[in-house]
């Protein structure tokens, strides 16, 4: 489970995303188009944009079943890692941290996809960005620029986001002690795991575990 490759979404999904990108022909997608897609719960945008809700501090997938907030209360991010860096925590209903990575661009896509696969398999849990860039045959600054351009997040932020996702998955699905979960999720210590959860969820891992098994119906976005 830990070593599982990143799911990039189906080929069709990427194809659709590319078409969307093409239609708005810029690196920045138009706010009105994104909000409209969010309002319609358009699955073609799943993994392409992430919707952060200022009033709740939560971010969602465009397909989230919860009530659509007012346009003035939302902002859009291009990756789960970027939304988390912006201070938003993942919605408990639509689980945006598990949305497929959907790098919808041409040309430099391969490098970023390969980087994401390596990060998912732990490249930045054991090594640093320089080593990762070297394995990809590019400079580390170039790699960081590609990540900023396409995901609005650095390789390290993506790695942290994935570690948290793995830990959350283990907290939800197992009774393993926190120390073991930290290790299996790729954190260097339980302390790091606890700090990451405190920053993202505002509570310790044990509380996140209890809450997840309590009542998902009470969760809002
Ligand atoms: Zn949601």
Label residue 140 by pLDDT band (50, 70, 90): very high
Q: Which of 29, 49, 58, 60 is catalytic?
A: 60
Q: How far is CA 54 from CA 74, 129, 154, in A?
A: 6, 32, 23
The predicted structure's pLDDT at residue 43: 84
Taking residue 48's Cβ as centre, other Cβ atoms within 10 Å add up to 28
Q: Which of 53, 91, 160, 181 is catalytic?
A: 91
Beta sheet of 58-60, edge-to-edge order: 74-77, 50-53, 58-60, 89-90
Class of domain 11-98: alpha beta
The predicted structure's pLDDT at residue 180: 96
Q: Could you tell me which residue, 1 or 161, shows the higher pLDDT?
A: 161
The predicted structure's pLDDT at residue 195: 95
The predicted structure's pLDDT at residue 157: 92
The ranges assigned to domains in the chain are: 11-98
The predicted structure's pLDDT at residue 79: 86
Q: Which of 51, 53, 80, 94 is catalytic?
A: 94
The predicted structure's pLDDT at residue 139: 93
- Nearest Cα to 196, choosing from 164, 171, 166, 167? 164
60 catalytically annotated: yes
- Nearest Cα to 114, choosing from 163, 166, 150? 150
How much distance in Å is there from the Cα of 128 to the middle of ligand 1?
Answer: 32
94 catalytically annotated: yes
91 catalytically annotated: yes
How much distance in Å is there from the Cα of 54 to the middle of ligand 1?
Answer: 13
Q: Is pLDDT above 70 for 166?
A: yes
The predicted structure's pLDDT at residue 148: 86
How much distance in Å is there from the Cα of 16 to the middle of ligand 1?
Answer: 22
Q: Which of 49, 52, 63, 64 is catalytic?
A: 64
76-126 per-position pLDDT tens digit: 998 888 899 899 999 988 888 776 555 444 456 678 888 988 998 899 998
Q: How far apart are CA 183 and CA 74, in angstroms?
A: 35
Contact present, 157 and 77 (Cβ < 8 Å): no
Q: Is pLDDT above 60 for 21?
A: no
**Mean pLDDT, residues 8-33 taken together:** 46
């Amino acid at each position: 489970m830990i070593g599982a490759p990143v799911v990039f979404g189906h080929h069709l999904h990427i194809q659709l995303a590319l078409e969307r990108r093409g239609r708005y022909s810029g690196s920045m997608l138009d706010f009105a188009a994104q909000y409209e897609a969010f309002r319609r719960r358009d699955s073609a945008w799943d993994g392409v944009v992430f919707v952060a809700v200022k009033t709740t501090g939560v971010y969602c997938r465009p397909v989230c079943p919860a009530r659509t907030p007012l346009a003035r209360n939302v902002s859009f991010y291009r990756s789960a890692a970027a939304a988390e860096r912006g201070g938003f925590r993942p919605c408990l209903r639509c689980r945006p941290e598990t949305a497929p990575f959907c790098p919808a661009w041409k040309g430099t896509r391969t490098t970023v996809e390969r980087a994401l696969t390596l990060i998912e398999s732990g490249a930045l849990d054991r090594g640093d960005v320089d080593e990762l860039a070297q394995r990809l045959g590019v400079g580390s600054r170039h790699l960081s620029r590609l990540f900023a351009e396409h995901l609005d997040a650095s390789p390290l932020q993506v790695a942290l986001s994935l570690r948290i996702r793995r830990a959350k998955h283990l907290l939800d699905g197992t009774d393993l002690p926190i120390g073991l979960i930290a290790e299996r999720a790729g954190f260097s210590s339980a302390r790091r795991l606890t700090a990451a959860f405190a920053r993202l969820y505002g509570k310790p891992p044990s509380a996140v575990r209890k809450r997840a098994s309590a009542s998902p119906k009470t969760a809002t976005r």
